[in-house]
Amino acid sequence: MSAPALPSYSSGTSTVPLLGDTIGDDLDRTAARVGDHEALVECSSGRRWTYPELVADVDACALGLDALGVAKGDRVGIWAPNCAEWVFVQYGTAKLGAVLVTINPAYRTHELSYVLRQAGISVLVAAPEFKGSDYRAMVDEVRADCPDLREVVFLGDPAWDELMATGRAADRGLLAERATQLSPDDPVNIQYTSGTTGFPKGATLTHHNLLNNGFFVGEGCGYTEADRVCIPVPYYHCFGMGMGNLGCTSHGATMVIPAPGFDPAATLRAVQDERCTSLYGVPTMFIAELGLPDFASYDLSSLRTGIMAGSPCPVEVMKRVVEEMGMTEVTICYGMTETSPVSTQTGADDDLDRRTSTVGRVHPHLEVKVVDPRTGLTVPRGSPGEFCTRGYSVMLGYWDEPEKTAEVLDAARWMHTGDLAVMDEQGYLNIVGRIKDMVIRGGENVYPREIEEFLYTHPDVVDAQVIGVPDVRFGEELMAWVQLRQGAEPLTVEALREFCAGKLAHYKVPRYLKLVDGFPMTVTGKVRKVEMREVSIEELGLQEAAAHRFA
């Protein structure tokens, strides 16, 4: 009689213990350990900080916010591209015990207003503008609808300089006192992740969640003080502020900010000039860097490792990253905002096949399993099912939304990701699809329902359904099927984009449009988005992209 197949369950054993510190204490410990080692470089301005200098500015920021009345548990928003001040606010709020609410720089008034109100943000730190977006004007437009918002400080303004000056003149002993009142299990960050059920949900993460995840991602990359990590991925997401900043500061490595927003040439220039040993990015970023006409002119010989995450990596891209960029120890990570974010990671010694066909194995101190979505029972290895994870990395819940939290976090604290996965005999996982309708466009999670609800506000739109269709460059692109009111002028895709401009983030604006009289439906009246996708692939001629996407 043969033994039953192993269940699709794995736990991450490790001889390295979890960190029991708050983020602020960990930063202070690192600074005490590494002395005058370089901590942060901002390439666009040429500014640099050693670890003691960084701690001094973090403390000044914390004490300046304290002088504005920010207390433990208060929500402080940050709406800015990558910059040194972002780092000050990240660690400064952590030292105060405040909850940092990270706001996507691509947000428009519709999304900004919702996040300010839903999180109850009392103080907002913002850039004046970015990529043609006038943040001052947008804040003015929504401020009357946000009763909790009492202070807005724009970076570069006299108010920001005053905040830092006030903090520098204050007694740093106040922070030592604050530190005694903080627990690693306190919430420290709210990250908004779009949802299939309408507006974004605020994944609430603790010091323990984020610090340990950043630390163990860094362990997976083999970080030491000698590493210099180029971080072109956005800080508003766990990839930048967690895997990037916290991965560095927990190891005494150097954070390198190549540019405020992603720029392939600036990224490679930063790697070359700062002798970076590690580079982060979603696949589209690496594709853009490799595609530069003068790519071969950059000296990337310092690169050793890095992380590719956010969406599946094409095999040829991974081969070029290893061979032409010298990233022989590059790793693939998989996760989601709700899990701080990484649950699995490939090893530096995994072969190229593992690094392109899987998302690696379970992370240290975490558990993963693959279950039948209908029964909740663990499936045998080799069978597809829903990917679930449990452990230190799982969020507290969605901010002020217990019902939505209960939809994804079960009684045993397993996070149900909605992703379909297969675990092989060695415990490597492959993501094969998604249960939910979520679309991942260039590493950005997009929930169709939010866009559909917005499209309903168009005076000529009776109904709208949004799906993801395959795209070689971004993984997926958005397509809207729209039903117009009788007698309405036909809607063009250009007119639809114009309607969305300035109100939805650019990555949420549909690329394709199909005008319909109705939608394919199930017998119970549910829209059949799978059929919509199949029809769209056929009509748009995307068969090759579809084969590429899920090869």
Strand-pair partners of 388 = 369, 416
- From residue 9, how far is each of 141, 416, 464 by CA, in Å? 50, 14, 40
Nearest to 19, CA basis, from 175, 189, 176, 219: 219
Q: In Å, how far from its chain's centre is CA 227? A: 22
Which letter does DSSP use for residue 242 in this model?
I
Classify residue 127 as exposed, middle or buried by CB count within 10 Å of its CB (0-12, 13-18, 19+).
buried
- Count CB-CB contacts under 10 A for residue 433: 9
Q: What is the mean pLDDT of residues 253-272?
A: 98
| Domains, the chain | 23-420 (3.40.50.12780), 439-549 (3.30.300.30)
* Strand, coil or helix: 375: coil
What confidence tens digit (pLDDT) does each residue in 113-143 have? Answer: 999 999 999 999 999 999 999 999 999 999 9
pLDDT tens, position by position, 442-460: 988 787 778 887 898 899 9
Angle (nearest 5°) at CA 546 between 544 and 548: 70
* Strand pairing class (123-126; 151-154): parallel
Q: How far apart are CA 214 and CA 203, in angstroms?
A: 17
421 within 8 A of 432, measured Cβ to Cβ: yes
Q: What is the C-alpha to C-alpha distance for residues 468 and 450, in angstroms, rounded to an integer?
A: 14
* For residue 264, pLDDT beyond 90: yes
CA dist., res. 408 & res. 278, Å (int) = 34
Separation of alpha carbons 62 and 68, rounded Å: 10
Percentage of the chain modeled with pLDDT above 90: 80
Q: Residue 298: helix, strand or coil by DSSP?
A: coil
Q: Does an H or E element contain 367, and which?
A: strand 366-371
DSSP string, 182-238: --TTSEEEEEEEEETTEEEEEEEEEHHHHHHHHHHHHHHTT--TT-EEE--S-TTSH
Report the length, in residues, of the chain: 551
Please say if the pLDDT value at position 258 is more than 90: yes
Nearest to 74 by CA among 101, 55, 56, 52: 101
Mean pLDDT of the chain: 93
Q: Read off the pLDDT of residues 364-380 as tens digits, 9 standing for 90 and up.
A: 999 999 999 889 999 99
Name the burial class of residue 131, with classes exposed (0-12), middle (13-18) and buried (19+) by CB atoms within 10 angstroms of its CB: exposed
What are the φ/ψ torsions at residue 408 (nearest 5 degrees)? Answer: -115, -25
pLDDT at 31 over 90: yes
Q: What is the pLDDT of residue 100?
A: 99
3-state helix, strand, coil in the chain (%, to 5): 35, 25, 40
Q: For residues 395 and 413, give the distance between their C-alpha atoms in angstroms, rounded to a whole number.
A: 10
Dihedral sign, Cα of residue 513, residue 516, residue 518, residue 520: negative
What tens digit of pLDDT does each residue of 491-542 get? 999 999 999 999 999 999 999 999 999 888 754 455 788 899 999 999 999 9
Q: Could you give the CA distance from residue 84 to residue 384 in angstroms, rounded to a whole number? A: 43
Neighbours of 95 (CB within 10 A): 27
Q: What is the pLDDT of residue 195?
A: 46
Residue 385: which H helix or E strand, with range?
strand 385-391
- Round to whole Å and give the CA distance between 161 and 159: 5
Whether residue 382 contacts residue 376, with contact meaning beta carbons closer than 8 Å, is answered with no
Structure tokens belonging to residue 273: 């000039």
Taking residues 29-57, report their average pLDDT: 98
Helix/strand/coil (H/E/C) assignment for every residue in 326-365: CCCCCEEEEECHHHCCEEEECCCCCCHHHHHHCCCEECCC
Task: State the pTM of this model.
Answer: 0.84
Smallest Cα–Cα separation from 284: which of 440, 478, 473, 545?
A: 473
Tokens at 168, concatenated: 């520098």
Span 92-100, average pLDDT: 98
Question: Hey, what are 48's tokens?
Answer: 């640099």
Q: What is the token pair recorded at 167?
A: 């903090």
pLDDT tens digits for 287-340? 889 989 999 999 999 999 999 987 767 777 888 999 999 999 999 999 999 999
